[in-house]
Amino acid sequence: MIARWNLVVLAACVAIAGCRPGYQLETGKVTGQVTVDGQPVSKGFVIFVPPTGRRASGPIGPEGRFSLTTYRIDDGAIVGPHSVGIVAFDDMDQYYRAFYDDTSDYEMPKAIVPEQYGDPFSSGLTFEVKAGRNQADFHLKSEN
């Protein structure tokens, strides 16, 4: 009986140590560009979701460029495979109001990136992050 409790205590200690604040998985720096039909997307955000661990995200800026953050600004994403989502609307402020404010009557603005790419779990976009620097370019097609 005592041996079983020792295993329970040992397992609890390992679990706590693995989840302690400050515990961080290895990341690889990730930068890239988002285009639709060859034109750079100049607003929105990119999100990388690993099978386990913290998500990485970053805003899309001028020329469609982005840099991901997981723990610290521009540190990248956890090393390994990721599902990717890309969200971009012509009025991102209106998008946030419409999406996050349950009490609002805001309409969703016009999508710049086809909405099918917005959900990382169904977008079909993936990326394998390696240690070091990674270039993640997404050249998307419109829904035409």
Q: What is the pLDDT of residues 55-86, one digit of tens each?
A: 999 999 989 999 999 999 999 999 999 999 99
CATH of residue 57: 2.60.40.10
Q: Which domain holds residue 117?
A: 26-140
Contact 66, 97 (CB under 8 A): no
Assigned domain for 34 exists: yes
Residue 5 maps to a domain = no
Residue 47: its pLDDT value, please? 97
Task: Report the SS3 class of residue 128.
Answer: strand
Task: Classify residue 17: in a domain, yes or no.
Answer: no
Q: pLDDT below 70 — which residues of the chain? A: 1-22, 91, 97, 99, 101-104, 106, 144
Report yes or no on 15 lying in a domain: no
Q: CB within 8 A of 69, min separation 6: which ones?
A: 56, 57, 58, 75, 76
- Residue 69 gets which letter from DSSP? B
Give domain status of residue 19, yes or no: no
For residue 6, tell me if it sits in a domain.
no
Spatial neighbors of 61 by CB under 8 A, at least 6 apart, are: 42, 43
Query: Residue 16 domain-assigned?
Result: no
The count of domains in the chain is 1
Give the per-residue pLDDT at 107.
75
Q: What is the pLDDT of residue 90?
A: 78
Whether residue 64 is contained in a domain is answered as: yes
